Amino acid sequence: MNYDEELAAPVWDDANESSNVENGAELAQTFANLSTLQEHVDQDEDEQESLVKSAWNQEEEEPLAKQDLLASLAPQEDPLAEIAVPSAGATDGKGETLFGDVHTSPLEVSEQDSEAISATSGARDASSPVRKSVAKPQKLFSSARLRRHPLNEAQKADLFEDPLNSHSTGADDGEVFVEEPLDEEEGKKGSSKKDILQQMDAPLFRISPRKSLSATPLIKKIAGGDSQNVEAPLQPNDIVTETEQFEPPSSDLKIEVVDPLKVGDLTFAHVEYTIWTRSPRLNPQEVRVQRRYRDFRWLYRQLQNNHWGKIIPPPPEKQAVGRFKDDFIESRRLQMERMLTKIAQDKKFQDDVDFMMFLQSQNFSQDSKIREHLTGSNASSDSNDISEIHISPVVLLGHDDAVNVMKNGGLDEAQKSFMNISFGAPPKYTEPDGFFVEQKQGMDVLEEQLKQLSKSLEIVETQSNDLASVTEEFANTIKSLEALEVSRKASDTLANFAEVHMRIRDSLQRSAMQESLTLGVTIDEYTRALASVRAVFNQRSKLGYYLVIVENDMVKKKAQLERSTQKGPSNRVNALTKDLQVLQDRHNKIKAKWQEIGDTIRRELRKHDHEKMVDFRNNMEIFLESSIETQKECIELWETFYQNNL
Amino acid sequence: MASAVPYDPYDDIDNNPFSEPQESNTNATETQRSETQGQNEHITVPNPQNETSNNERPAGAELLPERLSKKYQLVVKVTGLERIGTYTHKKENPTIQFDVSTNVPTFRKQQHRGVKKTMCEFQNLFAFLNGAIPETFVPALPLPSTNYGISNSEDYNKTVKNFQEWFDRIAADPILLRSEEIAFFIESDFNTYTPVGKMKSTPASGLKRKTLKQLAPPFDECLELAEFRPLVKSIHHLSREIQTKLSKLCKIRKTLSQDESAVGQGFKELAQDCSQMKSHGKFYMKFGKTLTAVGDIDSVMATLDAATLHDGLEWITNETYTVKEVLTNRHFLMRDLLQAQQNSKIRQEQARKLRAKRDVSPLKVDDAIRALKAATTIEHELTLKLRRVTANMLLQKIEWLEWYDRCLISSIKEYTMRKIEYERKKLSLLERIRSDVRAADESGGLSRLGRDANTGRSASVVTKPSQTAQGDSWTSDRRSHAFEPCVLKTEFDASLDSGGEKIPAGEDRYALDARSAAHLLGTSTF
């Protein structure tokens, strides 16, 4: 399957490339490549297929075209496919199709880009001698390619037999009928229709007595079908399936963060990243701007200010030392890209002025300051902790009132000068809603766990890298023993033994990288997102705090007014009435905001939880699938070694 | 002992200026031999030298008469292993039980049943043989315990197998076979054996040995053996190095497995506290458990790596060390010979001088002649000994290299098989949660791929394991036939393992239906 190749190609070639930032970027691209749109998957297949199997004949190409047509005509649902699912063959090499998911993918990638990549990777396939020389690993993935050939019944019978269908053709010759191994091909073949009909007629669960004994004695649930089905990605993911509750994360903005570049002299050195945005909505449809890390922080703060109660996808954490190391820059790049992609996926953020400005402005330092002043976001005075928040009075009270408040030194400042005289302590805000309290505690626990988990993951990663390097040492020592050439046979065996170990080292390194790119990145991201969630809670409690203050003020003002009115009408009464009016207004505004933010937070939390769940699960799935593949590769290596040498 | 001074066809070669035949020398050995035979109370022992003398002899046969006759046999069958006492005693000094059947005349009876020997006795024997028989590479003793850890069946089987191999190698060596010491060893009571025979010429030991080793080795006519020692030495060093690397690898793997378990634990904890994701609790739990189990498998693998390859290399290291030392002994022998040659030359010179003189006291002449005789005898003996040693070693070298090949490859093979077995177990473990991961919630999993129709949590999909008796699903290659049953067994083991590990949580999942239970009971023989 070419997903494999996509996934594997740059990594296999890693050794050949100088490891610079470029390298990591390519990896990310490969990663992104997995989430390419459906059409390109097909296209890739065609390209690669034609490269690898130039001997393809016409009859095969035609059905493929037909299949393309079919996909384009009925992209949403293929009822037949779903029927086919339960009887899908047990070809596990197909698990990787899971990566093809578009909507839940961490990275969005543009069409042109993926084309370019696929073209280059195709070219690499053809030209690079390295790939060819690595014959054994390729063999791992050869199964899918094999099945590309139209199989006649006899060949299929050779391949495997399907336990679910052996009954439908007759119990006595269970080996004769064999399920189509690749559902993908069903569209291509005339005979597939018959198969499908057969399957429709056949009961969903049918266990041949003989087969079930041999294969899975312990697993009770022999449910219908095999979950690996290549057909699935051929149907563009239906949005509705994602969730009924939340709008799917979809966006017409394609954002990439590319080309990290170190700029500035020694004292002001920083890394600038190019943000490459493409969207039909933008005026020039493609924009490239340079931004540095600080600007991402600014965006975060600004969005936080503009959308209270919304959980803003967090920027990466600050780091003082080692800022110019390649892998750090790469991981930061990835994190920032994910941040922007996630922001772009939210309908509200999509239309945000600041976000758009961030993506497009060529004069960012100026524009950002203007916007910051306008909104009173205080975005550039950014604290390290992303959970710390600043409530802009401008947004809270509207422009005019805000000016007054600012003059007095802010809402709580005004209070403080009062309070110092009247009370010892400022009024305290206690969260009236149990939901928030509970959530907050939950967050703390979760954060602890996630931190623990990510720490363990990190350790595992370093450990496996250690393991890889020691494996290499081991292999080298074996090689030197081999070099003694004590005897021919032993030398050969040792040489191959060392070779296997080198391969295993590669695979270890790859899986470590994979692990950190999937689970590691996700866990890290959600740890940071938790801070963002906390920021939202802080916003609410701060608003609540203001509410209490203003309420206090109001009570006091009311008392004053009452006292004054008892004395009789005067200027003072008028002024007080006016003040009270203002306070009343303020109170209402804050209260409204406070309630609004509560609602937003609830909604956001649900959404966040949902997204988190989906993300986690996706990554766990990817992790699992990739470790299964690694495992298979490992077994294959050892088996081959065993077969050839022992 | 009978073989220590072999028949010498060059006895009559005249290198003595006084041209006196060396009758006394041969007679002495002859009588000595008959004495030992008398001691052994064997009525008719055909002297190996006599019976081979009328045969056509291949080259070197006159030096190594033992090699010509295959009539003596020693069959040892190791039947058991006992580990008793304290932990270290158990580990270091197990008792080996074996039956012996032989027709070697040095033995008192032909059959010995249930002979028990401790590791210490074996070590004594080995030390003696190594010193007393310079001609041969005495096989190094196997390790008293394996890295499987003591008191399990794998260790038992492996140790027994190793001792069996050791005995086989002893029995295959005609020179060792004829050594009385073997008989003494086997016929002595349990735990009483100490070397009986006297070492005729103990090779230099201790500081002297160390100093002598520093000197450049004497010129070696036999190029093969001259090259052999450095080879063995580098094998020794490299095996050592591989061993250290391997232990390092195992150590890292073990810590890695712990950390993997920690990650699994982390997921389990996630499951416990995610109140908002109750549906996912179980799922995280399973995922975490599987990760933990995978970590456990890694740790098992580390142990197995050590037990297979490391132990194999350990034996090779020991063996190479012995071989190297024996070859060093040969060097000493060569040095001795050189000295003897010089000595006899001096004596000859003296005798010649005496002859040239007119007035010589007959006393002096007698003295000189005696000294010359002694020197020549010694020189002669040493020459013979060296020749014999060289000839035997040349033969042994081939055998030894074969053994080395076999041992190395077999340990690599074992290592590989274990690796495959456990990698497969890991795979089947991972594949088992695959369906759970995919069917984690109705709105996710396969539905993302447009296949939600039949994947509810209630009827979660079970993916077929990719490894079956029919071969692996990811490749069309057929596995070698010898391996086929192993694959199945592996899978079976793995499911048992994880079943054990997952009893608290996964009961509903791994519960047996009647059929698979029957199947399980039916096949659990290994």
To the nearest whole angstrom, how far is the Cα of A228 from the nearest Cα of chain B? Answer: 8
At A194, list the tokens. Answer: 């018959």
Q: Evaluate if residue A503 carries a pLDDT over 80.
A: yes
Across B151-166, average pLDDT: 88
pLDDT (tens digit per residue) in A190-230: 444 444 545 454 444 444 444 333 333 333 333 333 333 33
Across A560-576, average pLDDT: 78
At A509, list the tokens. Answer: 């390194």
Q: Are the CB atoms for B106 and B40 separated by under 8 Å? A: yes
pLDDT (tens digit per residue) in B343-365: 889 988 888 888 887 777 888 88
Residue B222 within any structural domain of the chain: no
Cα gap B50→B259, rounded to integer Å: 70
The verdict on a CB contact (< 8 Å) between B438 and A241 is no
Residues 462 through 491 of chain A touching chain B, CB cutoff 8 Å: 463-464, 466-467, 470-471, 473-474, 477-478, 480-481, 484, 486-487, 489-490
pLDDT of residue B164: 92
Q: Evaluate if residue A559 carries a pLDDT over 80.
A: yes
To the nearest whole angstrom, how far is the Cα of B235 from the nearest Cα of chain A? Answer: 7
**Of the partner residues B424, B451, B468, the one whose CB lies closest to the CB of residue A229:** B451
More confident residue, A331 or A380: A331
Residue B245: name the closest of A624, A12, A147, A471 by CA. Answer: A471
Residue B3 within any structural domain of the chain: no
pLDDT of residue A101: 41
Domains of chain A: 2-217+229-242 (no CATH), 254-384 (3.30.1520.10), 434-645 (1.20.1270.60)
More confident residue, A324 or B109: B109
Residue B289 within any structural domain of the chain: no
Using 50, 70 and 90 to split pLDDT, how confident is the model at A179? very low
The verdict on a CB contact (< 8 Å) between B515 and A212 is yes
pLDDT of residue A459: 87
Cα gap B16→A630, rounded to integer Å: 77
Q: Which chain B residues are closer than 8 Å to A95 by Cβ?
A: 434
B489 in reach of chain A (CB within 8 A): no
Residue B433 within any structural domain of the chain: no
pLDDT (tens digit per residue) in B293-314: 888 888 888 888 888 888 888 9
**Of the partner residues B246, B420, B470, the one whose CB lies closest to the CB of residue A160:** B470
B482 in reach of chain A (CB within 8 A): no
Instruction: Give the least confident one: A97-111, A279-293, A440-454, A614-628.
Output: A97-111
Label residue A211 exposed, middle or buried (CB < 10 Å: 0-12, 13-18, 19+). Answer: buried
Helix segments in B82-222, DSSP class H: 87-92, 119-132, 153-172, 174-177, 180-187, 206-214
Q: Evaluate if residue B408 carries a pLDDT over 70.
A: yes
pLDDT (tens digit per residue) in B268-292: 777 766 555 556 677 777 788 888 8
Beta bridge partners of A291: A273
* DSSP secondary structure letters along B311-322: HHHHHHHHHHHH
Closest-CA residue of B relative to A477 is: B242
Residue B295 within any structural domain of the chain: no
B57 in reach of chain A (CB within 8 A): no
Residue A339: name the closest of A371, A375, A299 by CA. Answer: A299
Structural domain for B154, as ranges? 65-200
B388 in reach of chain A (CB within 8 A): no
A459 in reach of chain B (CB within 8 A): yes
Look over chain A and give the mean of its residue pLDDT values, rounded to a whole number: 65
pTM of the model: 0.65
Q: What is the number of domains present in chain B? A: 1
Instruction: Output the domain CATH number for residue B143.
Output: 3.30.1520.10
Q: Which stretch, A265-279, B53-67, B311-325, has highest mean pLDDT? A: B311-325
**Of the partner residues A466, A489, A645, the one whose CB lies closest to the CB of residue B252:** A466
Q: Are the CB atoms for A630 and A623 separated by under 8 Å? A: no
Closest-CA residue of A relative to B257 is: A460
pLDDT (tens digit per residue) in B195-220: 887 766 666 777 888 888 888 778 87
Residue B154 within any structural domain of the chain: yes
pLDDT (tens digit per residue) in B19-76: 444 444 444 444 344 444 434 433 333 444 443 334 444 455 667 777 777 788 888 9
Instruction: Give the least confident one: A116-130, A210-224, A521-535.
Output: A210-224
Residue B283 within any structural domain of the chain: no
ipTM higher than 0.90?
no
The amino acid occupying position B144 is P
pLDDT (tens digit per residue) in B122-150: 998 888 888 888 888 888 888 888 888 87
Cα gap B526→B524, rounded to integer Å: 6
pLDDT (tens digit per residue) in B438-464: 665 555 444 444 444 444 443 444 455
Q: Evaluate if residue A171 carries a pLDDT over 70.
A: no
Residue B364 within any structural domain of the chain: no
Across A619-629, average pLDDT: 82
Cα gap A360→A364, rounded to integer Å: 9
- The residue count of chain A comes to 646
What SS3 class is residue A549? helix
A637 in reach of chain B (CB within 8 A): no
B299 in reach of chain A (CB within 8 A): no
pLDDT of residue A645: 78
